[in-house]
């Protein structure tokens, strides 16, 4: 029982990270039907921004988190305006190839400036370095911070989407862009705001992962980005609650597989889940089949 609880705690910590990244995928897809494969690399950039804030400017983790979110939000807006906006009426394959190109550009630009070697985050002290016993299982202060910050950001996102004027505009644009224009909504600004939100969450995830695992590298966004995409598909891509559920499921599944001694196969299990979902329920756990008139 203690082992199960321990793996559940570890899975929630990891799943919180996947959920934050998956939210960016699902919001962008819900607005413009784009799978932004550069999103995982925005998460990587966030990790490096947090690293620079802590090592060069000696900021604490929470201030570094805010700075990373702000700068990644700006990066997301620039990517949308420069790379995706000119292709908004192009074919899906053209936009997909562009997304892959942006991903590679971010990876190797970062590698050019900081090198390919692994960097280590400063060792956390105080509460985040402490450990606590809960029903026989151990939970670290860093895990509490990760879960707490992730839940706070998810609740804040839900509030923005459901209760604010821009959130209503996002929902309107996701339903029908032409009708939204007729209602006086700026579609371009709404799409840019969606990229800002999604990229900010990815930047936050990057800082939390860097502080938790204590190492970062320019290619660190590839696998978590793909797993977050699997989480978004599992929950129902385009649905915010689906991204949350999918992220937690993937995180818990991965830690359970590792806990059983099959850590070598944990990535394979995640993508096996993707195959099963696409075969039996391609709309995801919360998605519904929608009939389209031809």
pLDDT tens digits for range 141-173 = 999 999 999 999 999 999 999 999 999 999 999
Q: How far apart are CA 43 and CA 40, in angstroms?
A: 5
82-111 pLDDT tens trace: 999 999 888 889 999 999 999 999 999 999
Name the CA radius of gyration of the chain, rounded. 19
Q: How far apart are CA 8 and CA 23, in angstroms?
A: 21
List the chain domain ranges.
2-117+125-280
pLDDT at residue 292 greater than cutoff 70: no
195 closest CA partner among 65, 34, 60, 55: 34
Overall residue count recorded for the chain in this entry: 294
pLDDT category at 290 given cuts 50, 70, 90 is low
Beta partners for 132? 139
Beta partners for 138? 133
pLDDT in the model for residue 294: 46
- pTM, 2 dp: 0.93
Residue entry with tokens 């910590």: 13
Residue entry with tokens 């909504």: 185
Q: First CA to last CA across the chain, in angstroms?
A: 54
Q: Is 166 exposed, middle or buried (0-12, 13-18, 19+ CB in 10 A)?
A: middle
pLDDT in the model for residue 269: 93
pLDDT in the model for residue 291: 56
Q: Is 163 exposed, middle or buried (0-12, 13-18, 19+ CB in 10 A)?
A: exposed
> Within 10 A of 241 (CB to CB), how many other CB atoms are there?
14
Q: Which CATH code is given to the segment(s) 2-117+125-280?
A: 1.10.3470
């Amino acid at each position: 029982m203690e082992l199960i609880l321990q793996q559940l705690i570890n899975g929630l910590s990891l799943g919180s990270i996947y959920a934050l990244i998956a939210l960016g995928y699902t919001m962008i897809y819900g607005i413009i039907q784009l799978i932004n494969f550069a999103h995982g690399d925005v998460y990587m950039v966030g990790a490096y921004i947090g690293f620079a804030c802590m090592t060069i400017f000696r900021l604490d983790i929470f201030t570094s988190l805010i700075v990373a979110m702000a700068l990644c939000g700006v990066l997301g807006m620039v990517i949308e305006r420069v790379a995706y906006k000119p292709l908004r009426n192009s074919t899906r394959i053209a936009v997909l190839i562009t997304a892959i190109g942006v991903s590679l550009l971010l990876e190797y630009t970062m590698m050019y400036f900081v090198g390919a070697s692994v960097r280590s985050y400063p060792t956390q002290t105080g509460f985040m370095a402490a450990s606590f016993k809960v029903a026989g299982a151990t939970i670290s202060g860093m895990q509490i911070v990760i879960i707490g910050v992730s839940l706070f950001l998810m609740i804040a996102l839900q509030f923005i989407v459901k209760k604010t004027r821009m959130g209503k505009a996002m929902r309107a644009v996701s339903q029908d862009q032409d009708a939204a224009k007729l209602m006086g909504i700026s579609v371009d600004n709404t799409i840019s705001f969606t990229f800002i939100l999604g990229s900010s969450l990815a930047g936050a995830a990057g800082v939390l992962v860097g502080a938790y695992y204590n190492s970062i590298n320019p290619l660190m966004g590839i696998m978590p980005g793909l797993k977050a995409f699997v989480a978004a598909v599992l929950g129902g891509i385009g649905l915010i609650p689906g991204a949350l559920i999918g992220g937690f499921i993937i995180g818990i599944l991965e830690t359970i597989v590792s806990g059983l001694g099959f850590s070598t196969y944990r990535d394979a299990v995640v993508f096996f889940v993707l195959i099963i979902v696409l075969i039996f329920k391609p709309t995801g756990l919360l998605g519904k089949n929608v009939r389209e008139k031809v």
